[in-house]
DNA sequence: AGCACA
């Protein structure tokens, strides 16, 4: 049955997600996966009984959401085919942006009190708020240089294995798989316990590895971590 | 199956 009765929305609703995946990893992986369609403003996932296995991805453009809905239908994500629809309502983060946000209030007094307290605490901390929406990420960016600018190490010749650097330490191989398996010829991700921040990704051949490198060069899993992709040294 | 914004 097509979910065709939901009008286009810049937010998408994703369900049939693997419930074993931790919330933060899930959000990051969704971010990684969907940022190929456009700028992502927010990813929302809750693990409450009612909301586990579901998530919302908020794009800055409806067209991005439309492409995602069409193209990511049944995409195998953590071993489960994801179901993607438009969200039924506007996300808070876009309501806030267009000024139509009204805080919902279905709380009893006690909860409100706690809420208020929390907010004032937040206000104090928001000195360092360089945007809690750290997802103002921008997704893939053009190549950049990092690390050994001076001491010019010889680059490995193109081959079927990619060497990834500058990954956030929370990166898991599943997260990288999610990203790289979108490209034809993907074989596997290898990470080394003792060496966080790097990974190897193998493709069937060097043409395919090069396509993935091109597409994901500089990709940011977090804003601070544009990934540096090179060919592995054999 | 399940449409929220901790």
CA–C1' distance A187–B2 (Å)?
34
> Mean pLDDT, to the nearest integer, of A189-199?
96
Tokens of A169: 């330490």
Average predicted confidence (pLDDT) for chain A: 84
Question: Alpha carbon A75 to chain centroid distance?
Answer: 15
Q: Which positions on chain B have an atom < 7 Å from some protein CB?
A: 1-6
> Mean pLDDT, to the nearest integer, of A3-25?
93
| pLDDT 10s digits, A159-175 | 999 999 999 998 989 89
CA–C1' distance A142–B4 (Å)?
34
Closest nt to residue A53, judged CA to C1': B2
Q: Judge whether A73 and A16 are in contact, CB under 8 Å.
A: no
Predicted pLDDT of residue A55: 98
More confident residue, A143 or A179: A179
Asked whether residue A26's C-beta has any atom of DNA/RNA strand B within 7 A, the reply is no
Q: Mind spelling out the 3-state secondary structure of A162-193?
A: EEEECCCCCCCHHHHHHHHCCCCCEEEEEEEC
Predicted pLDDT of residue A118: 53
Confidence of residue A131 (pLDDT cuts 50, 70, 90): very low
Predicted pLDDT of residue A117: 54
Given a cut of 60, whether residue A128 has pLDDT beyond it is no
CA–C1' distance A82–B3 (Å)?
16
Confidence of residue A7 (pLDDT cuts 50, 70, 90): very high
Confidence of residue A154 (pLDDT cuts 50, 70, 90): confident
Given a cut of 60, whether residue A96 has pLDDT beyond it is yes
Given a cut of 50, whether residue A195 has pLDDT beyond it is yes
Tokens of A150: 């001076």
Predicted pLDDT of residue A149: 46
Q: Judge whether A176 and A199 are in contact, CB under 8 Å.
A: yes
pTM: 0.74
Provide the strand spans (E) within A62-185.
76-77, 80-81, 83-86, 161-165
Asked whether residue A10's C-beta has any atom of DNA/RNA strand B within 7 A, the reply is no
Which range, A106-115, A119-128, A151-160, A192-201, is most confident?
Answer: A192-201
| pLDDT 10s digits, A30-58 | 998 998 899 999 999 999 999 999 999 99
Predicted pLDDT of residue A152: 58
> Mean pLDDT, to the nearest integer, of A189-200?
96
CB neighbours of A195 closer than 8 A, spacing ≥ 6? none
How many CA atoms does the CB half-sphere of A77 hold within 13 Å? 30
CA A136/CA A133 separation, integer angstroms: 6
**What is the 8-class DSSP label of residue A127?**
G
Confidence of residue A221 (pLDDT cuts 50, 70, 90): confident
Instruction: Report how far apart, in Å, the C-alpha atoms of A130 and of each of A24, A41, A136, A153 are.
Output: 20, 15, 10, 35
Predicted pLDDT of residue A3: 66
């Amino acid at each position: 049955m097509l979910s065709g009765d939901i009008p286009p929305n810049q937010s998408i609703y994703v369900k049939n997600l693997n419930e074993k995946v931790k919330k933060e990893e899930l959000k990051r992986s969704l971010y990684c996966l969907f940022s190929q369609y456009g700028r992502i403003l927010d990813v929302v996932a809750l693990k409450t009984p009612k909301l586990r296995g579901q998530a919302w991805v908020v794009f800055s453009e409806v067209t991005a959401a439309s492409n995602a809905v069409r193209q990511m239908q049944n995409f195998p994500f953590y071993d489960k085919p994801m179901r993607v629809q438009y969200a039924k309502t506007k996300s808070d983060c876009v309501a806030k942006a267009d000024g139509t946000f009204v805080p919902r209030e279905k709380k009893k007094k006690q909860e409100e009190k706690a809420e208020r307290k929390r907010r004032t605490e937040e206000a104090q901390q928001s000195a360092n708020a360089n945007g809690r929406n750290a997802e103002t990420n921008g997704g893939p960016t053009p190549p950049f240089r990092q690390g050994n600018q001076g001491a010019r190490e010889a680059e490995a010749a193109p081959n079927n294995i990619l060497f990834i650097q500058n990954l956030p330490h929370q990166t898991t191989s599943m997260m990288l798989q999610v990203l790289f398996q979108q490209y034809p010829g993907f074989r596997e991700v290898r990470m080394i316990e003792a060496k966080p921040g790097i990974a190897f990704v193998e493709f069937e051949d060097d043409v395919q590895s090069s396509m993935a490198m091109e597409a994901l060069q500089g990709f940011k899993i977090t804003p601070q971590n544009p990934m540096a992709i090179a060919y592995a040294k054999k």
